[in-house]
Amino acid sequence: MCRKHSGSLLPQNISFPVAHLTPNLASFPTYKTYSSGPTTSRGFCSTCGSPLTFNDDKNRDLIEINIGSFDEEVLIGEKVEEDAWEDEYGRHVPRKGGWGYELGFPKYHIFAENEVKGVTDGFEGTKWLTDREGGTSFRGKVSGMKRGV
């Protein structure tokens, strides 16, 4: 579902306490949600259709925001126009700052049972076959796990 919602093999979200978001996302007239499962909903922009959030009724104090929806300056930093240069490839404008690496480097992976061989199966970090409540965490590839007897 996350892949279909994001249109990406590698959807990434960051959890934030709802109380830390001001103003509340629901106060924006273009922010809409739809039920995507028995206890879950997803938020999107009703103007452009961009997917924005994931919400789970099991933990109403947290909201997951799609990393790709963050502003460019947050992810890759502000443009430093005075340091720009041109060459045969075009104009290069360096960036300063940005939190893309810190935001995009996952600490854990869920639904590893749906890993894509050669694409998403090589990630570092703790993994769960389904959600974090659905079993014991592990490291490595699902394909490398030994079948129980």
pLDDT single digits (tens) 78-131: 999 999 999 999 999 999 999 988 888 878 888 888 888 888 888 888 898 888
Residue type, 54: F
Please name the helix (run of DSSP H) or strand (run of DSSP E) that holds residue 2, with its range, or none: helix 2-6
pLDDT above 80 for 146: no
Query: Count of alpha carbons within 13 Å of 101, Cβ hemisphere only?
Result: 3
**Element counts in the chain: helices (H) and strands (E):** 3, 11
Asked if omega into 11 is within 30° of 0 (cis), the reply is no
Residue type, 64: E
Q: What is the arithmetic mean of pLDDT over 48-67?
A: 92
Q: Work out the percent of the chain whose per-residue pLDDT is above 70.
A: 99
Report yes or no: 112 and 136 within 8 Å, Cβ to Cβ.
Answer: no
Mean pLDDT of the chain: 89
pLDDT band of residue 148 (cuts 50, 70, 90) is low
* Rounded-to-integer distance, Cα 125 and Cα 99, Å: 20
Single pTM value for the model: 0.76
Range in 17-31, 58-72, 83-97, 114-128 with the lowest mean pLDDT: 114-128
DSSP 74: H
Please, what are the domains in the chain? Answer: 1-69 (2.170.150.70), 70-105 (no CATH), 106-144 (no CATH)
* Rounded-to-integer distance, Cα 95 and Cα 92, Å: 10
Closest CA to 67 of 34, 105, 33, 26: 105
Closest CA to 94 of 110, 82, 102: 82
pLDDT above 60 for 48: yes
Name the token pair of 134. Answer: 């659905």
* Rounded-to-integer distance, Cα 4 and Cα 136, Å: 26
pLDDT band of residue 133 (cuts 50, 70, 90) is confident
